[in-house]
Amino acid sequence: MNRLLLTWGCCIIALIAAGCASTKTVPENNFYRLVESKPQHQFDEPQIFGSLIVDRIKASGILSERALLYSNEVSPEALMQHHYHHWTDSPASLIREQFVTYLRNVNLAQHVASDMRSTSGDYHLRVELKKFERMLLKNGGVEVRVTLRMEIISDGDRRPLFSHDYSEINQLDNASVLASVRAMNEVLSKIYSRVVVDLINAISKPGEN
């Protein structure tokens, strides 16, 4: 009888311990989006006469997934995913939507489209997402790192007018994920501004870039 009571007692203790363990707070999922990037300057009239189609942005591997990415300064070779911090959509889709809105607001071309049905256009902008991550620094700070590859194609003869990688790094004292997301918005805006200048030069002066 004593052995039976002891067995039952151990089972009850184990169940209580399991119940306590199950009450441990699970981290809440957090979701982030890119906000509209407003250009500092807007052209009075379109700088590109014709239509500009922004093709679907290419992103390979984990860059195409929704989890925010990060690495550590001590081991930059390792790229990891945050478990509880996600984009509301794939980064490529969010960037494309934001970029198209930016190009329209800056009044770059007579017509800017991202609709996949809009296959015909005077120019096609091909974009590849190469880097979109947080770098956790040894001093406790964070760097936001973004790289986009841009290629503009003339629809008439399908020849590339220019191809270029755009990289920006923004260092933060605030190590929160939200601060990094806001910094990514700022970094993307800087890249868009540079791209606009290069697009105008490439299309108005083909072959010189």
Do the domain assignments include residue 16?
no
pLDDT of residue 193: 96
Q: Looking at residues 12-33, what average pLDDT do you find?
A: 70
Do residues 160 and 151 touch, judged by C-beta distance below 8 A?
yes
Better-predicted residue by pLDDT, 156 or 53: 53
**Total structural domains in the chain?**
1
Better-predicted residue by pLDDT, 116 or 192: 192
pLDDT digits (tens, 9 = 90+) for 105-122: 999 999 999 865 655 678
- Structural domain of residue 158, as residue ranges? 30-204
Do the domain assignments include residue 139?
yes
Do the domain assignments include residue 209?
no
Looking at the predicted structure, is the pLDDT value of residue 90 above 90? yes
pLDDT of residue 20: 52
Do the domain assignments include residue 94?
yes
pLDDT of residue 22: 53
Do the domain assignments include residue 90?
yes
Do the domain assignments include residue 112?
yes
Do the domain assignments include residue 15?
no
Looking at the predicted structure, is the pLDDT value of residue 23 above 70? no
Do the domain assignments include residue 161?
yes
Check which CATH number belongs to the domain holding 132 and give it. Answer: 3.40.50.10610
Q: Which of 14-28, 91-105, 111-125 has the lowest mean pLDDT?
A: 14-28
